Structure 1
Amino acid sequence: MKNRQKKRSIAALSAIVALSSVLAACGSNTSNDGNGGSDSGKPVTLKVMSSTIVEKPAGEIEQELADEFMKANPDIKIEFMGLSQNDAFAKITTLATGNQLPDIFLNTSDFYATANGMGITADLTPLLGEDFVKGFYPSVLKESTIDGKLQYMPWFTTPIALIYRTDWFEAEGLKPPVTWDDFVKSAQKLTKDTDGDGKADQWGFGLVGTNNSSGTYRFLPILHSFGASELKQDADGKWVTDLDSPEAIEAFQFFGDLANKYKVTPPGAMQNAYAENVTLMANDKIGMVISGSHSIAGLIEKNPKLEGKLAAVPVPKKTEHSSNLSAFGFSISEKSSNKEAAAKYLKFLVEKENAIKFFEGTGRMPTRMEAGDDARVQSPVYKGFLDAQQYAVPQPVVSFFSQVQSAVGTAYQAMLAGSTKAETAATKAAESVRSEIERNQ
């Protein structure tokens, strides 16, 4: 399987060699930039490809940290290459083809298998130090390691959990839901006609029903909580799916029932994406939403009056809790001549106070236990996300996972539309995934 994935990665590289003409504008190879490596004792310029540097407020904090690092290490200069995460992985692939990768580049669980197959990531364990690496949460390391090789240093995570309005729950005498039965009862109680016109204008739950990564990111923990999996390896290491299992069928039915039977979601669930639900919650229209820790900061930015009125708990369960980590971090290029300086910078980013500074400004969770144990992170607002991390299900490391997501999204949208039986939607999704597995064997 690993050899086949590597062959596909090599084939993908060969297909884009023609794009190498665009590389001249992207700077020269860091291994030939004239700065020398950190071993030489000469001044070093670290080129860092980052998507967070172009975000607000994340980029401002990242630049502040880089400035502090350069002040403490005057022989090392940080030079950012900023771009959106949506464009990053194609850009990394192109730069790798032309041997033009920066010293440090962003990496996530969506790309690290591809990067590993391309042979462009240095093993970070010896660079960071084994004792240092042990300080990361085990679940985070699991999502950034392949075949015992630490592909990228996890900088932060955005674990998924259930965010809820504490003031609304207190007013109704409700406790944070643990099971889906608890959840439905709470959602029904929070769904109301507040203006007396006979129509609900406040809802218990903001459902993200779009068929894209944002939608599947929030649905898959629900699927897992029923004991089903979209893709997993069997005892022989072969990829299989149980999307047409009784557990999966029940999960799809439950998702559709939230909108069609219980009516605890705003109208237009199939079109309501993440942004719409954040706006609805900020405008006092919904009481619960499944999302990542970064949403807390986004909600308060839209409505400062929500400060102190939000908290989170793990996604409710039928049989087990579940979460996604969405770990984000940085890799060091295998061909960088500045590996030691790069490792020094990466270790600086996750030092306790630096990690907490980034967390407080963005809501993105620290990846090291010493920072996660701090009282500032263990607040009632964010503790639910920390608790959710222990239930994280690693994303399957396959090149066709986006097709798996699309099949799942098509199935739950069919349920939201109310035009298909759960068994039918689940069967079609399973057939689609099995076709992808066969195509990629």
Structure 2
Amino acid sequence: MPLLGQPVVSRRSLLAGAIAAPFAGACAPAATQSSGGPVQITFWSALRGSQPVVDAFNRSQNKIKVIFQQIPGGDQGGYAKLSNAARAGNAPDVCTIEYMQLPGFAIDGVATDITGLMSDRLRNQIVPQAWRLATFDSKTFAVPFDIEPMVMHYRKDLFDQYGLTVPRTWDEFAGLARKVRDKAPDKRAAVFATDGAYNVAAFAWQAGGQWFDISKGVWNVSMTDAPSRRIAEYWQKLVDDDLVWVNPSAGKQYDAQIGNSLLLVRFSGAWEAGAQMRARPKQKGQWAIAPLPQWDPADAVVGTQGGSTFAISKDSRHAEAAMEFIEWQVTQPDSLRARLTSGTSSAFPSSPALIPVGSESFDRAYYGGQDIYRLFDEEAKKIRDGWIWGPRMSATQRVVNDGFARMSAGGTIIEALRHGQSGTMPDLKALGLSTSEHSS
């Protein structure tokens, strides 16, 4: 059953036209200022620091007043709350949606097509690789807040202790993993996360995989294409040779592996640098960040892990005011400064104008003085074009993770991906979407 339940607009309106059909939408009416004061718009988000951002925006002008509501993270109930509100016709004017969930909310009609509302200034303020993740069939459904290239976080002190070199390629990483196990049997180079469907997606993305694409109005699904099989076989060998831990990346076991120095490498988005600082202040000076290992260093590419956008809902009666607020959030230095008053963050802004703000506020001492923002900027330029998230990624993620969880009983990574694909198809068909499937 799809996480969001039944779509909030009719199948007929969604399927009108060819490739544009899954993303049919209309801009909400323009904002109007009442005689009694500023236009009021509502904003829901789970992002840390959103209240200070709203307060700063409200102080910056007197035409628009934003009413903010903090909601749980998407998987903790925030997306269900948004979907329910949309079905009831009272979704907020502005909401935060992660990249991987955006196609589903566009199909459901919750996030509207904002192409006509965006100014040329805004378009030019956001890096192209971020826009491409929020745009389908030349229609844009949200404004990117951050762009999170996958990078390699590693324990520099333990690398030095065991005489390890930062791997440039995945072959080198496999060799490193074997050295770690041999030199320190109680430690492992990394974790294969049994709740890490999105991590595996990022690995497949980097390798050239294409789990979903849209052609002539048809959603094509291929989660076991050749690049995806390649990364499945690679990680399966690491698992089979006992070179990595195999457990969830959320929970006490994983926290203990990091806290007790049993884990040398973590692969995640740029955002995790700040999360690491907040969670484990006593490991200051022990960590560093490096580019993701490559399959072909001469053609370096990466995928993303994490990242959020701001969308305007189909229920907004003040779309122009909503867009003005969004543009201020993602392009104005004062916005990021306000957000950072709530604590350390390393979310990598989609607007280059905000990168210096994030860099200046970040305490480099935790990472031994390393300029991690320069690294993130270099890696963001390597994000491979063409990746599209599926229409029901929460359901896809759940089925894939169920398959990973069975690995302790003999299941395999490629079987989990096959199950993920077969488990995804009923949801797409239930949406009334035209589909095709490529199995291997």
TM-score bin (small chain): 0.7 to 0.9
Equivalent AA in structure 2 for residue 294 of structure 1 = W
- Which of 350, 357, 378 aligns to 1:367? It is 350
Equivalent AA in structure 2 for residue 209 of structure 1 = T
Q: Determine helix, strand or coil for the equivalent of 1:37.
A: coil
Q: Determine helix, strand or coil for the equivalent of 1:301.
A: helix
How far did residue 366 of structure 1 move? 0.5
Deviates more, 1:103-112 or 1:119-128: 119-128
Match of 2:244 in 1: 265
How far did residue 227 of structure 1 move? 3.9
- TM-score, normalised relative to structure 2: 0.75
CA deviations over 1:399-423 (Å, ceiling 9, x no partner): 3444444454455555x43735777
Match of 1:252 in 2: 232
Is 1:302 the equivalent of 2:292? no
Q: Taking structure 1 as reference, are residues 146 and 358 closer, same or farther at Cα in structure 2, changes over 3 Å only? A: same
- Which of 331, 335, 338 aligns to 2:311? It is 331
- TM-score, normalised relative to structure 1: 0.75
Alpha-carbon contact 1:168-1:287 (below 8 Å) kept: yes
- Which of 391, 400, 407 aligns to 1:399? It is 391
Q: Determine helix, strand or coil for the equivalent of 2:130.
A: helix
Match of 1:78 in 2: 66
Alpha-carbon contact 1:252-1:412 (below 8 Å) kept: no
- Which of 175, 178, 194 aligns to 2:168? It is 178
Match of 2:101 in 1: 111
How far did residue 80 of structure 1 move? 1.3
Match of 2:57 in 1: 69
Alpha-carbon contact 1:240-1:437 (below 8 Å) kept: no
Match of 2:142 in 1: 152
Alpha-carbon contact 2:127-2:352 (below 8 Å) kept: yes
Give distance in 2, aligned partners of 1:427 and 1:121: 30
Alpha-carbon contact 2:106-2:112 (below 8 Å) kept: no
CA deviations over 1:206-250 (Å, ceiling 9, x no partner): 33123xxxx1111122234444443345699551416164x4434
Alpha-carbon contact 1:45-1:79 (below 8 Å) kept: yes
- Which of 203, 206, 222 aligns to 2:188? It is 203
Alpha-carbon contact 1:222-1:317 (below 8 Å) kept: no
Query: Taking every aligned residue pair, what percent have the same amino acid on both sides?
Result: 18
| Corresponding pairs, count | 395
- Which of 419, 426, 429 aligns to 2:410? It is 419
- Which of 89, 114, 119 aligns to 1:99? It is 89
Q: Taking structure 1 as reference, are residues 68 and 392 closer, same or farther at Cα in structure 2, changes over 3 Å only? A: same
Q: Name the Cα RMSD after superposition.
A: 3.8
How far did residue 180 of structure 1 move? 1.0
- Which of 153, 160, 174 aligns to 1:163? It is 153
Q: Determine helix, strand or coil for the equivalent of 1:186.
A: helix
Give distance in 1, aligned partners of 2:396 and 2:92: 32
Match of 2:9 in 1: 10
Equivalent AA in structure 2 for residue 10 of structure 1 = V
Alpha-carbon contact 1:135-1:369 (below 8 Å) kept: yes
Give distance in 1, aligned partners of 2:415 and 2:100: 29
Give distance in 2, aligned partners of 1:422 and 1:120: 34
How far did residue 324 of structure 1 move? 2.0
